[in-house]
Amino acid sequence: MKAATEKRSAKGRKAVGPATPAQESKPEPTAIAPRIVKRGTCPTLNGKGELAYEIGVDGRGEVHLRVVENSGSGSFSDEWVGFRNIQAAFDRAPKSEPVSAHMLFPLFRGMSSNCCYFCTAVLKSEGLLTPSEKRKKRFDRVDPAGWLAEMQSRREGKAATVAVDGNTKKPTASKASVSKPKKGKQTAKT
């Protein structure tokens, strides 16, 4: 039985493609959780559910995102994912080619397979991906420079408010303000 599991696991890795050095090593954990600079909601890629997400910036100025709630029944992880790691995963494709949610699988190894699709939905909502005209279920990348600058200015307190479900609130980083997922199942890395 164990040998069959190992075979299946090996096949799964092979299907994703060869790992690059950036994917083989785990991202360095941040000593302090990123400061939340934006909260938002967006539809899932299939439009059947709604996701709540947070964007944060850590002490080194790195931008991270995570899903914190799912109105549907799909499992997800509320762990922070570095935007730099997302870009590296997408950089496996030539810049002129569209990208897919599948390219994010290595970032979510050991978690629900929904995670890469939910992350892609957040990126689409943030305007970092646009639906591809070349291929269905693929996305064209948008230059993130303006978005990254906006997230940095929010970190520095230059952005006065953050839209949350139609209401405006000041961004906070206190643990009490971070909502726990209410629906859907969370998965943890094993």
Q: How far apart are CA 135 and CA 156, in angstroms?
A: 39
pLDDT at 113: 86
pLDDT at 187: 52
pTM for the full predicted model: 0.68
Mean pLDDT along residues 41-47 = 94
pLDDT at 104: 94
pLDDT at 53: 96
Residue 6 pLDDT greater than 80, yes or no = no
What is the average pLDDT score of the chain?
75
* One-letter amino acid for residue 51 of the chain: L
pLDDT at 156: 84
Count the alpha carbons within 13 Å of 173 in the hemisphere toward its beta carbon: 15
Residue 10 pLDDT greater than 70, yes or no = no
Listed by start position, the domains of the chain span 33-169
Residue 172 pLDDT greater than 50, yes or no = no
Residue 184 pLDDT greater than 80, yes or no = no
* One-letter amino acid for residue 8 of the chain: R
Mean pLDDT along residues 74-100 = 92
Pair of tokens at residue 47: 């439009």
Residue 27 pLDDT greater than 80, yes or no = no
The label of the residue with tokens 């209410």 reads 182
Q: How far apart are CA 14 and CA 87, in angstroms?
A: 21
Mean pLDDT along residues 12-33 = 44
Mean pLDDT along residues 105-117 = 90
Mean pLDDT along residues 165-177 = 38
pLDDT tens profile 52-82: 999 999 989 999 999 999 998 888 888 999 9
Count the alpha carbons within 13 Å of 174 in the hemisphere toward its beta carbon: 4
pLDDT tens profile 141-161: 999 999 999 999 898 886 544
